[in-house]
Amino acid sequence: MNKEARVQFVINTLKELYPTIPVPLDHKDPYTLLIAVLLSAQCTDVRVNQITPILFAKADNPYDMIKMSVEEIKEIIRPCGLSPMKSKGIYGLSHILIDKHDGKVPQSFEALEELPAVGHKTASVVMSQAFGVPAFPVDTHIHRLMYRWNLSNGKNVVQTEKDAKRLFPRELWNDLHLQIIWYGREYSPARGWSLEKDIITRTIGKKSIIDEMSKVK
């Protein structure tokens, strides 16, 4: 199967498995999504979804957020990890949104990436999920699967994102990045992985990975 056929197999399989695609992080608008994505760094989405209702009950907009102190924010988000950095980021970006953007989340990669604690991946998630702009945020699942599927060399997430954007049609990016995340969690996890369940890797995966997994059986 050539690369084009492998890419099409991925698209078809994911569409079949996930005809409707839930967004993993609970949110109600661009601001709450931005905060949830920021909190998800090195933290599970499940944990984030447990913490955000507590935070958003006190402040679900930048105006209410800056009424709280960094210390208060830190106490609430502590279970998400990296709370000193994240609390400063949330407080700082809320101020900037008010001062520079009329309290609204900006709709550009550049403006988002200028906000404290907001990197390229966080900006990409917000642009794709809040504003519908084609983007391909690469998390650990996508990075792992693109390598397993022999669609990227796995050197770094920057390269993986370039490969994903080059191989997959632009109009499918926003759906695909979510579908791959769900697939990675359910069928192709980092640990406790069963090749039998993982139809995509089993069909188009890197030969060395398939051989390695076959030995483990």
Pick the closest to residue 154 from 78, 216, 209 (CA basis): 209
Amino acid identity, residue 173? W
Closest listed residue to residue 33, CA positions, set 103, 131, 167: 131
Residues catalogued as catalytic? 121, 139
| Helix runs in 59-119, H state only | 62-65, 70-77, 83-101, 109-113
What residue has token string 């400063």? 88
Which segments of the chain does DSSP mark as H helices, in order?
A: 3-17, 30-39, 45-58, 62-65, 70-77, 83-101, 109-113, 120-129, 140-148, 157-167, 173-186, 199-204, 207-216
Apex CA 160: angle with CA 190 and CA 143, to 5°? 10
Bin 54: left if φ > 0, else alpha if -120 < ψ < 50, else beta.
alpha
Q: What is the DSSP letter of 20?
A: S
